Amino acid sequence: MSRAAPRHGAILLAAGASRRLGRAKQLIEIDGEPLLRRAARALLATVPLDCVVVLGHGAERLHAALDGLPLRSVVAADHASGMSTSLRAGVAALDTRCDGALIALTDQPALRSDHLLALCEAWRAQPRRAAASAYADVLGVPALLPRAWFDDLMRLRGDVGARELLRARDVVAVEAPSLAHDLDTSIDLDAIR
- Tell me the CATH number at 15: 3.90.550.10
> Could you tell me if residue 160 is inside a domain?
yes
Range of the domain at 41: 8-192
Identify the residue with better confidence: 103 or 24: 103
Tally of CA atoms within 13 A in the half-sphere of 124 that contains its CB: 15
Tally the domains of the chain: 1
Evaluated on CA atoms 40, 41, 46, 50, the torsion sign reads positive
185 pLDDT above the threshold of 80: no
Burial letters 124-135, b for 16+ CB under 10 A, else e = beebebbbbbbb
Could you tell me the pTM of the whole model?
0.91
For residue range 23-71, what is the model confidence (pLDDT) as tens digits? 678 888 988 999 999 999 999 999 999 999 999 888 888 999 999 999 9
84 pLDDT above the threshold of 80: yes
> Could you tell me if residue 50 is inside a domain?
yes
> Could you tell me if residue 1 is inside a domain?
no
| CA 82/CA 85 separation, integer angstroms | 6
2 pLDDT above the threshold of 50: no
For residue range 168-179, what is the model confidence (pLDDT) as tens digits? 999 999 999 999
| CA 103/CA 140 separation, integer angstroms | 10
> Could you tell me if residue 2 is inside a domain?
no
> Could you tell me if residue 136 is inside a domain?
yes
> Could you tell me if residue 158 is inside a domain?
yes
| CA 10/CA 94 separation, integer angstroms | 8
In Å, what is the CA distance from 4 to each residue of 1, 7, 45, 82? 9, 9, 20, 36
> Could you tell me if residue 3 is inside a domain?
no
